[in-house]
Chain A
Amino acid sequence: MNPNVEEDSIRNNPKNTVAFWTKEKYDFRILEHMKPAIEIMSPAGSRESLSAALNAGADSVYFGVEQLNMRAKSSNNFTTDDLPAIAALCGRHNAKSYITLNTILYDHDLQLMRNIVDAAKENGITAVIASDHAVMMYARKRGMEIHISTQTNITNIETVEFFSAFADVMVLSRELSLSQVADIVSDIRRRNICGPSGRLVQVEVFAHGALCMAVSGKCYMSLHTHYSSANRGACIQNCRRDYIVTDKATGYELEIDNEYIMSAKDLCTIGFLDKIIGAGVSVLKIEGRGRSADYVHTTTTCYKEAVKAIHDGTYGPQKVEQWMQALSTVFNRGFWDGYYLGRTMGEWSESDESLATKRKVYLGKGVNYFSKQQIAHFLMESNQLQVGDEIVITGPTTGYVHAVVSELRVNGLPVSQAGKGDEVTIPLGTLIRPSDALYKLVDNTRRELVQAE
């Protein structure tokens, strides 16, 4: 029997679906058969991130094609010509592939939208993520699977019912509490709300990544000040800067110094992922198509491990602490638990920059890999590398590789340190390529020390 069919029949049997839930204690009983069905969906804003996500074991990836997606400006978007290669790569990793087609659309965008849906269909992309009704209507006509984007802001069961005429998977609004999510999931089962595929509608939520100061997808700030519409994928994130507030009556100016009033901290749910899964969520989405391969690799790995730990019954505070440590090494603005646990006010980030505890310093590029000896050959283009340094290699095919330098050779001779211009060889268990970049990881606090001196 096809394992996917088995999984679906378990997931969609209403008898199996009720998560026990008391609002006061957030006490969820996770039913045995629900556990394996959790899908980790990772962002792929570039080739590097795509490979990193797949290598880290993402169950699905989402990416933008051309300009009609919410990272039209910031990420390194793919074109329709890239679709055969992306579909083939995802196929090899047994991962689903989703195209984000979720900006607001004008009349002049309709033909491009149709071309993207057609290309997605022809190349065997799993689904399009849509927010505009025109996309839903056309994709439905073409028989393309549709997922509803966070831009649509689904906050109640009847909206789920409305969109079930088009979509099989729906992400719920990021502003819902976990009890609201759980209620919607149990109502989907009770009312037997099925998507076009005939299966029950699956609920997706955001598990990790940036949050918006506004209700997601309803922000006008970037357009208002810079004519750069967030809803056309061109958000300039001006909510993340510092501002001076003037009292109109007296003219007094108050600087909102280092305590930004609008920049939300990043969502992190790994500490209560059991509750999220207990609420009956099927898909966990990681935000970050504007982020680098190391972010994608680390977040995907942590959440995959967490889902597995929940499955194995080994999920607990010790593991959560390890994951939190790993997650804080990559881009973040500080973490909070979003709105899921019923907080009424947002928590705001004190910094517009990343609070990652480690940062990457560029060293050089890949030259060659000697498979038999498992030796990687790099050309150093800047900075120094020492034995014992933590290194990161990213590339379009390689994705993300993390290692510690155990031995370092220049021109075949062992050295303790190498610098700019040196051709170095390092023992490495993973194949690297000339298209790869080599970085070392340093503590992020070091930069401040240098500035203070």
Chain B
Amino acid sequence: MIRIIHFREKCIGCNACVELAPGRWRMSKKDGKSVLLEGEDVNGIVTAIADDNEYKANLSASRTCPTNVIKVEKIVRKS
């Protein structure tokens, strides 16, 4: 599993994440910023848990984001 984190405040609405990981991101027509689908918003920081198969696309979204507001990390399970 992976965790995707979006620090939404500094988003400038460039649409890059939507182009690279369309299954996980949409542009909001309300405020022009991107929305992390199925994310949970805690004080403006949005977090979503996703399958490993979404890692690659979201990693490129994270690397491409001009304001560096997307973080993607692998969740390591304690066994």
CB within 8 Å of B: which residues of A?
A: 66-68, 72-73, 106-113, 226-229, 232-234, 236
Per the 8 Å Cβ criterion, residues 21-79 of B in contact with A are: 27-33, 64-67
Pick from A109, A228, A236: contact of B13, CB below 8 A.
A109
Cα separation A111 to B28 with both chains bound (whole Å): 9
Which residue on B lies nearest to A111, using beta carbons?
Answer: B29
A73 touches B66 (CB 8 A): yes
Listed by A's residue number, 17 A-B pairs whose Cβ atoms lie within 8 Å are A67-B12, A67-B13, A68-B13, A68-B32, A72-B12, A106-B27, A107-B27, A107-B29, A108-B29, A110-B29, A112-B13, A226-B66, A227-B66, A232-B12, A233-B12, A234-B66, A234-B67
Which residue on A lies nearest to B67, using beta carbons?
Answer: A73
B2 interface contact, C-beta 8 A: no
A111 touches B32 (CB 8 A): yes
A234 touches B13 (CB 8 A): no
- A73: chain B residues at CB < 8 Å are 12, 66-67
Give the shortest distance, in Å, between A376 (CB) and chain B (any CB).
34
CB within 8 Å of A: which residues of B?
A: 11-16, 27-33, 64-67
B66 touches A111 (CB 8 A): no
- B31: chain A residues at CB < 8 Å are 66, 111-112
Cα separation A226 to B66 with both chains bound (whole Å): 7
B66 touches A67 (CB 8 A): no
Which residue on A lies nearest to B20, using beta carbons?
Answer: A227
Cα separation A41 to B16 with both chains bound (whole Å): 34
- B15: chain A residues at CB < 8 Å are 106, 108
B27 touches A67 (CB 8 A): no
- A111: chain B residues at CB < 8 Å are 29-32
- A110: chain B residues at CB < 8 Å are 29
Supply 7 further A-B pairs (C-beta < 8 A) apart from A111-B32, A113-B32, A226-B66.
A68-B13, A106-B27, A107-B27, A227-B66, A232-B66, A233-B12, A234-B66
- B30: chain A residues at CB < 8 Å are 111-112
- A227: chain B residues at CB < 8 Å are 16, 64-66
Which residue on A lies nearest to B26, using beta carbons?
Answer: A108
Decide: A234 near B32, CB < 8 A? Known: A106-B27, A227-B64, A227-B66: no
Cα separation A232 to B27 with both chains bound (whole Å): 15
- B65: chain A residues at CB < 8 Å are 227
B32 touches A112 (CB 8 A): yes
Give the shortest distance, in Å, between A412 (CB) and chain B (any CB).
44
Cα separation A106 to B19 with both chains bound (whole Å): 13
Pick from B16, B29, B33, B64: contact of A67, CB below 8 A.
B33
Give the shortest distance, in Å, between B62 (CB) and chain A (any CB).
11
A234 touches B14 (CB 8 A): yes
Q: Which 4 A-B pairs have the closest CB atoms?
A: A228-B66, A108-B27, A112-B32, A67-B12
A229 touches B13 (CB 8 A): no
- A236: chain B residues at CB < 8 Å are 66
Give the shortest distance, in Å, between B32 (CB) and chain A (any CB).
4
Give the shortest distance, in Å, between B17 (CB) and chain A (any CB).
10
Give the shortest distance, in Å, between A320 (CB) and chain B (any CB).
40
Give the shortest distance, in Å, between B1 (CB) and chain A (any CB).
27
Cα separation A89 to B10 with both chains bound (whole Å): 26
Cα separation A233 to B65 with both chains bound (whole Å): 13
Cα separation A67 to B66 with both chains bound (whole Å): 13
- A112: chain B residues at CB < 8 Å are 13, 30-32
Cα separation A413 to B77 with both chains bound (whole Å): 63
- A233: chain B residues at CB < 8 Å are 12
Give the shortest distance, in Å, between A80 (CB) and chain B (any CB).
10
**Most chain B CB atoms below 10 A, which of A226, A228, A236:** A228
Cα separation A68 to B13 with both chains bound (whole Å): 9
- B14: chain A residues at CB < 8 Å are 229, 232, 234
Cα separation A229 to B15 with both chains bound (whole Å): 11
- A107: chain B residues at CB < 8 Å are 27, 29
